[in-house]
Amino acid sequence: MTVRSDVRGPALWLTIDREERRNALSAEVIEGLVEGLSRGDARVVVITGAGERAFCAGGDLEGFARAARGESPPAAIARLMRALRECPRPVIARVNGLALGGGFGLLLGCDLAIAAGDAELGTPEIDLGLWPHVITVAIQRNVPRKVALELMLTGRRIGAADAARWGIVNRAVPRADLDRAVEEMVEELAGKSAHVLALGKESYRGAEDLPWDEAVAYLTEMLARNIQAEDLREGVQAFFEKRAPDWRDR
C-alpha cells in the first residue's frame, strides 16, 4: 500500500508511504491520493509523507514505467492536480520535509499548507534538462512571479520560513509543533459548514481566471446559491442567539 488512509477525528489523513523513495509520486501513489480525495467520510483532508525526511520529492519515473495503467507521468500528475482542485473539502498539506518538483506541485495544489521549519521546497527539474511544465499551472497561481521564475530557472531550494513569507505555505513551525499546528487547523475547519466550505471553494476556483465583469457576474450567481443554504439561516440565528451554530451541512 503506497498511500495509507486513516480517519482521525474529523480529518482523513492520506500518507504517502514510500519513505525509502522519499515519498515520490508513482502511478500507485497518485491513484491512492485521487481515490482518497474522492472519499466523503471526513470534513477535512490532510496529505503528508511518511517519516521526517520528505513530504514528496517529486515524480518517480521508474514507478510509472512499472505501472499497468499506461498513463503518462504528466497526465497522471495533471489528474491529481485536478482532483485536488475539485475536492469539495478543505485539503491541508502537512509538509514534513522535502517538497520538490511534483511534490512541490502537490503542496501547491492543496488549499492550505503547514510546513516544518526545516522543510525545503523547490523545482530542481532544470538541473536535469527539464522544465516543470504541468505544475506551472499551480506555481503561477500560488507563487509571486519573480520568486516562481527564480525557482524554476535556477532549480534552487527555499526554506519553509521564506515559503511562509511569500505565502507559499500558511505557516512554518518548529518540527515538534507540526502535528499540533495541523490539528488546530483541522479543528477550525471542521467547525464550519461543510456545505458552505464546498460552495466557497467552487466559487473561488470558478472566478479565479475570469475577467473582472465576468467574475462579478459569476460570484453574484454563487451568492444567490449561498443565500438559499439552510446553514446560512442557522449561522445568522446562532449569531443573534450568541451560541455555536448547529450546522446541517446543507
Contact criterion met (CB below 8 Å) for 160 and 172: yes
CA–CA dist 86, 31 (Å, integer): 15
CA–CA dist 159, 170 (Å, integer): 13
Q: For the residues 71-83, what does the mean pLDDT come to?
A: 91
Contact criterion met (CB below 8 Å) for 173 and 215: no
Beta bridge partners of 114: 94, 171
pLDDT digits (tens, 9 = 90+) for 3-48: 999 999 999 999 999 999 999 999 999 999 999 999 988 999 999 9
Residues 6+ apart with CB under 8 A from 41: 7, 12
Given the C-alpha cell 491520493, which residue does it identify? 33
Query: What is the predicted pLDDT for the residue at 60?
Result: 82
Query: What is the predicted pLDDT for the residue at 79?
Result: 95
Q: What's the gap between Cα 135 and its chain centre?
A: 13
Flag whether pLDDT at 143 surpasses 70.
yes
Given the C-alpha cell 525545503, which residue does it identify? 120
Query: What is the predicted pLDDT for the residue at 43?
Result: 97
Evaluate if pTM is beyond 0.75: yes
Query: What is the predicted pLDDT for the residue at 20?
Result: 95
pLDDT digits (tens, 9 = 90+) for 188-234: 999 999 999 999 999 999 999 999 999 999 999 999 999 999 999 99
Flag whether pLDDT at 52 surpasses 80.
yes
Query: What is the predicted pLDDT for the residue at 74?
Result: 87
Per-residue confidence band for 148, with pLDDT thresholds at 50, 70 and 90? very high
Beta bridge partners of 112: 92
Q: What cell was used for 182?
A: 495541523
Flag whether pLDDT at 73 surpasses 90.
no
Average pLDDT over the chain, rounded to whole? 95
Query: What is the predicted pLDDT for the residue at 61?
Result: 65
* Higher-confidence position of 206 and 66: 206
CA–CA dist 164, 240 (Å, integer): 37
Query: What is the predicted pLDDT for the residue at 108?
Result: 98
Smallest CA-to-CA distance from 4 within 39, 58, 49 is with: 49
Per-residue confidence band for 71, with pLDDT thresholds at 50, 70 and 90? confident
Handedness of CA 45, 50, 52, 54 (dihedral sign): negative
Q: By CB neighbour count within 10 A (0-12 exposed, 13-18 middle, 19+ buried), where does 212 fall? A: exposed
Q: For the residues 162-171, what does the mean pLDDT come to?
A: 98
Q: For the residues 72-87, what does the mean pLDDT come to?
A: 93
pLDDT digits (tens, 9 = 90+) for 104-133: 999 999 999 999 999 999 999 999 999 999
**In Å, how far are 9, 104, 135, 190 from 41, measured between CA atoms?**
10, 27, 28, 12
Flag whether pLDDT at 151 surpasses 80.
yes
CA–CA dist 95, 44 (Å, integer): 16
Flag whether pLDDT at 236 surpasses 90.
yes
